[in-house]
Amino acid sequence: MNRISIIRAQAIFMSPAVLAATLLILPPLLYVFYTSVYGPALSLAAYGQVLTSKLFRQTLTTTLVVAGLSSLLSLLLGFVVALHLARQPARRRAFLTVLVLLPFWTSVLVKCFAFTVILGREGIINSMLSWIFGIKIQLPLVLNMVGLLVGMTNFLIPLVVLPVLASLLAIDSAIYRAAAIMGAKPARIFWTVTLPMSLPGLLAGLLSIFVMSLGAFIVPSLLGGPQDQMLSSLVAFYNREVLDWQKASAISVVLLGMVFIFAAPLALWRRRKLKA
Amino acid sequence: MRDETVLGRDTAHAIALTGISKMYGLVTALHPTDLSVDKGEFLTLLGPSGSGKTTLLNLIAGAIGPTTGTIFLDGRDITQMPPRDRGIGMVFQNYALMPHMTVFDNVAYPLRARRQPASTIRAKVTEALERVGLRGFEDRKPRQLSGGQQQRVGIARCIVYSPAIIMMDEPLGALDKNLREQLQSEIKRLHKELGTTIIYVTHDQEEALNMSDRICLMSAGQITQLGTPDELYFQPRNRFVAEFIGESNLISGRTNGNGQLMIAGNRSIPVPAGGWTDGAELLVMVRPERVQICDMDEPVKEGSNVLSGEIGTTSFVGGMTRVTVQTENGLNMTARMVSGRAESRPQAGARVRVCWSSSDMVVLET
């Protein structure tokens, strides 16, 4: 196939997706952007008010902290899972991978309600602790930062396991055998081979779940406390409670901008990897 | 009862395997095998894929555990020892270098695992790279090197910690012919210089003949013949060895009482030496380069076997020309001769005689 026919084939195969994305996503986004600058008159006033408001800055901090912490936690826990999966024989690994994906296929809403049952004041964990210690224990595990992080981490782990597993499986097993035969103990093999060679996969995984968690809405609404609300909740608040669509739109645009800033290195890295 | 422990415990051998075997479920990868390798010896494990040579290598390396038997390294029982404590070196077919490390760090890896001081590491790495001709490449990454250079790093990484035994698992399998021959002689030179014991795995018989002190030819999970390259080539034990190493003409026949071997087409040739009973079925081998092609009127030497026939094919492969002859009594004989110019080479269809000396015949086990 020559160059032109390759380009033509690409155009034919990609056009439905591009068309759908453009028609279904771009107009609403443009409308959001339009709403954010067009109040009574065309102005950036809404952005000014939003960026100087204390509520916005608090929520922004919470968003970054929750997204950062839950991403790091998920990466740590997901890495351990991926390490275990990578060591299994192929068939067993396929079965275990399905188990990892099962919660991922379950609705976020259902999982959040399940967590309120597990973590609530009269929930499974508190009841068990009460039974073990023989006194009434009611640890505040939900509707606060703890509940929020548990919920977010549970949501994100499957998303980090798969890319990290892929990068672990890409390591030639002969390298491990070589390291062992040269006298390296398991800990040294981990620090000198496994970790550095899966680092690109880990970083890509971290960045992608961080970007994804920036826009979290359902989990913080159901498992977080009033202090732990994230930017999406703020958008909903201005949109539905205050009915200030202009500010709601301005916050959306800021959130979108943040996603772009963090997603750009990821896209660049992927492109570099494709070229290599 | 055979005293296996004493057999392995003597320290004259670099490595000794007694009754070692490996089963995967009901599949036998290696039948119970005894093998000992002398200190400083270059031993090649040769065989087709699935013959058990890689299994044997992995058992010695400790990558897999044996089903039965004991492995002695310099008189010590290492059967249960993890690979990292065995102090064995290994060179891999696909190099198995750490792609994220420089050449220096790759070669320094086994020394760092042994927590040697930085100054020692620098000196030893420099010396090892010197030996494989890679000084000045310290800061390169493996992917910036050619295949041959990468395998040199693999060898440097191995000799740098002076292991008692170096195992090489088809180390030249991924390289092209010229480079392979060049590295063959480099490995031989290193073996001579360092005096290390080397266990070399290959399926390339020429490589095995060229490099080894002894060859251990394996098939179907067993050692078929263990001996010097010379023995394997000129005294193959059976048909498998004869056909795996080099080319061979096989002639089967039955002895009669008069010292003659009755072969195809009711022809007879003298029976090779060895007290054969009358009526014994023998399989005899002659190497093609010991077979000569003579014109019909050329006088033949005393003690030669002569069959007349017609040239089938002639293939000119550089220094040697391979000629097949369909003999009148129905045999297909192959001869190998030093090539001449096209005019002087035998032409297909020509009537010729093939002759070979009785002393070049080897009787194979059937």
Q: Do the Cβ atoms of B35 and B13 come closer than 8 Å?
A: no
Give the integer Cα–Cα distance in Å for B103 and B89.
17
Give the integer Cα–Cα distance in Å for A157 and A81.
9
In 10 A of CB A224, how many CB atoms? 25
pLDDT tens digits along B270-305: 877 777 777 788 899 999 999 988 887 777 777 788
In 10 A of CB B46, how many CB atoms? 29
Q: Which residues of B touch A196 (CB under 8 A)?
A: 100
pLDDT of residue A43: 85
Q: CA B315 from chain center: how many Å?
A: 26
pLDDT of residue A275: 67
Give the integer Cα–Cα distance in Å for B30 and B33.
7
DSSP string of A123-168, one letter each residue: SHHHHHHHHHHSS------SSSHHHHHHHHHHHHHHHHHHHHHHHH
- B86 and chain A in contact, CB less than 8 A: yes
Give the integer Cα–Cα distance in Å for B207 and B188.
11
Q: Name the band, by pLDDT with cuts 50, 70 and 90, for residue B1.
A: very low
pLDDT of residue B99: 94
Q: Is the predicted pLDDT of residue B3 greater than 50, yes or no?
A: no
Q: State whether B61 and A183 contact (CB < 8 Å).
A: no
pLDDT of residue B127: 96
Q: Is the dihedral of CA B114, B66, B169, B245 positive or negative?
A: positive
In this structure, what token pair is assigned to residue A118? 């597990």
pLDDT of residue B13: 87
Q: Chain A, 141-180: which have a CB under 8 Å from a chain B CB? A: 172, 174-175, 177-180
Angstrom CA distances, B71 to A178, B34, B77, B174, B193, stand at: 20, 10, 6, 30, 27
Mean per-residue pLDDT over chain A, rounded: 91
Minimal CA–CA distance to B130: which of B107, B101, B105, B102? B107
- B82 and chain A in contact, CB less than 8 A: yes
Q: Label residues A39-72 b or e (16+ Cβ within 10 Å = b).
A: eeeeeeebbeebeeeeebeebbebbeebbebbbe
pLDDT of residue A78: 95
Minimal CA–CA distance to B181: which of B223, B210, B160? B210
In 10 A of CB B72, how many CB atoms? 23
pLDDT of residue B341: 85
Mean per-residue pLDDT over chain B, rounded: 90
- B351 and chain A in contact, CB less than 8 A: no
- Determine the distance in angstroms separating the CA of A230 from the nearest CA of chain B, rounded to an integer: 39
pLDDT of residue B35: 95
- A193 and chain B in contact, CB less than 8 A: yes
Minimal CA–CA distance to A208: which of A247, A150, A259? A259
pLDDT of residue B2: 44
pLDDT of residue B118: 96
pLDDT of residue A274: 67
- Residue of B63, B89, B97 lying closest to A177 (CB–CB): B63
pLDDT of residue A81: 96
Which regions in chain A score pLDDT beneath 70?
A: 1, 274-276
Strands ordered across the beta sheet of B292-294: B292-294, B351-357, B304-317, B320-327, B332-338
Q: Do the Cβ atoms of B17 and B223 come closer than 8 Å?
A: no
- Determine the distance in angstroms separating the CA of A171 from the nearest CA of chain B, rounded to an integer: 10
- A185 and chain B in contact, CB less than 8 A: yes
Provide the Cα torsion B298, B303, B307, B308; round to 10°. Answer: 10
Strands ordered across the beta sheet of B68-73: B27-38, B13-24, B68-73, B76-77
Beta bridge partners of B227: B215
Q: Do the Cβ atoms of A175 and B103 come closer than 8 Å?
A: no
Interval B167-194 mean pLDDT: 93
Q: Do the Cβ atoms of A62 and A229 come closer than 8 Å?
A: yes
pLDDT of residue A235: 93
CA atoms within 13 A on the CB side of A138: 3
pLDDT of residue B6: 53
Q: Name the band, by pLDDT with cuts 50, 70 and 90, for residue B7.
A: low
pLDDT of residue A40: 78
Q: CA B286 from chain center: how many Å?
A: 20
pLDDT of residue B186: 93
- B88 and chain A in contact, CB less than 8 A: yes
pLDDT tens digits along B332-346: 999 998 988 888 788
- Determine the distance in angstroms separating the CA of A87 from the nearest CA of chain B, rounded to an integer: 15
Backbone angles phi, psi at B241, to 5 degrees: -65, -45
Q: Do the Cβ atoms of B311 and B324 come closer than 8 Å?
A: yes
Q: Do the Cβ atoms of B227 and B215 come closer than 8 Å?
A: yes
Domain A46-275: CATH superfamily, name plus number = MetI-like (1.10.3720.10)
pLDDT tens digits along B37-87: 999 999 999 999 889 999 999 999 999 999 999 999 998 999 999 999 999
Give the integer Cα–Cα distance in Å for A111 and A155.
9
Give the integer Cα–Cα distance in Å for B234 and B245.
10
- Determine the distance in angstroms separating the CA of B108 from the nearest CA of chain A, rounded to an integer: 10
- Residue of A172, A181, A188 lying closest to B94 (CB–CB): A172
Tell me which residue has tokens 């010097």: B228
pLDDT of residue A276: 62
Minimal CA–CA distance to B155: which of B192, B111, B107? B107
pLDDT of residue B272: 77
Q: Do the Cβ atoms of A167 and A198 come closer than 8 Å?
A: yes
Q: State whether A174 and B96 contact (CB < 8 Å).
A: yes
- A265 and chain B in contact, CB less than 8 A: no
In this structure, what token pair is assigned to residue B237? 């034990």
Q: Label residues B226-251 b or e (16+ Cβ within 10 Å = b).
A: bbebeebbeebbebbbbebbbebbeb
Q: Is the predicted pLDDT of residue B316 greater than 60, yes or no?
A: yes
Q: What percent of chain B is predicted at pLDDT more than 70?
A: 97
Q: Do the Cβ atoms of B313 and B323 come closer than 8 Å?
A: yes
Minimal CA–CA distance to B246: which of B45, B46, B57, B51? B46
Supply the ipTM of this predicted assembly.
Answer: 0.84
Tell me which residue has tokens 């009482």: B257
